[in-house]
């Protein structure tokens, strides 16, 4: 089994990368490297995966885990069109909750969304 580069621990901080599987965890690995990685991480990512694998992950972004500028960049780079509702749901957003000085992480920018959790500042 092919191992992940040790440098990926920076972008996969909440995972034990020695236990990650390159095929099974492909979506998480690609998403995290595109969101948080350096140029060197990106070059390593292209050694692990075909560009088509990376495009597939960008084409079907997971909900609430993408930085808007990053997803925008990669959709433009790969000339990928994503439905607006899917794009908006993929964006990670923190908004202030003025009631008790916490931040609220919402997984989409829709008021009817109930998938949020409070994070201490």
Whole-number pLDDT of residue 93: 82
CA torsion 107→103→32→42, rounded to 10°?
Answer: 120
Whole-number pLDDT of residue 38: 96
Whole-number pLDDT of residue 56: 98
Most confident by average pLDDT, 7-11, 90-94, 102-106, 113-117: 7-11
Residue 79 CA to residue 73 CA, distance in Å, equals 10
Whole-number pLDDT of residue 54: 98
Would you say residue 112 has pLDDT above 50?
A: no
The DSSP letter of residue 66 is B
Give the mean model confidence (pLDDT) for residues 28-46.
Answer: 97
Distances, alpha carbon 33 to alpha carbons 4, 58, 59, 71, 121, in Å:
12, 12, 16, 12, 25
Domain extents in the chain = 6-90
Whole-number pLDDT of residue 100: 59
Would you say residue 115 has pLDDT above 60?
A: no
């Amino acid at each position: 089994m092919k191992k992940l580069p040790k440098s990926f621990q920076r972008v996969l901080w909440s995972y034990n990368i020695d236990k990650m599987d390159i095929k099974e965890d492909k979506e998480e690995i690609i998403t995290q490297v595109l969101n948080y990685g350096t140029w060197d991480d990106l070059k390593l990512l292209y050694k692990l995966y075909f560009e088509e694998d990376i495009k597939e992950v960008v084409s079907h972004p997971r909900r609430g885990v993408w930085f808007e500028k990053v997803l925008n960049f990669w959709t433009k780079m790969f000339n990928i069109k994503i439905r607006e509702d899917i794009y908006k749901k993929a964006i990670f957003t923190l908004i202030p909750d003025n009631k008790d000085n916490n931040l609220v992480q919402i997984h989409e920018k829709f008021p009817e969304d109930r998938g949020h959790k409070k994070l201490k500042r």
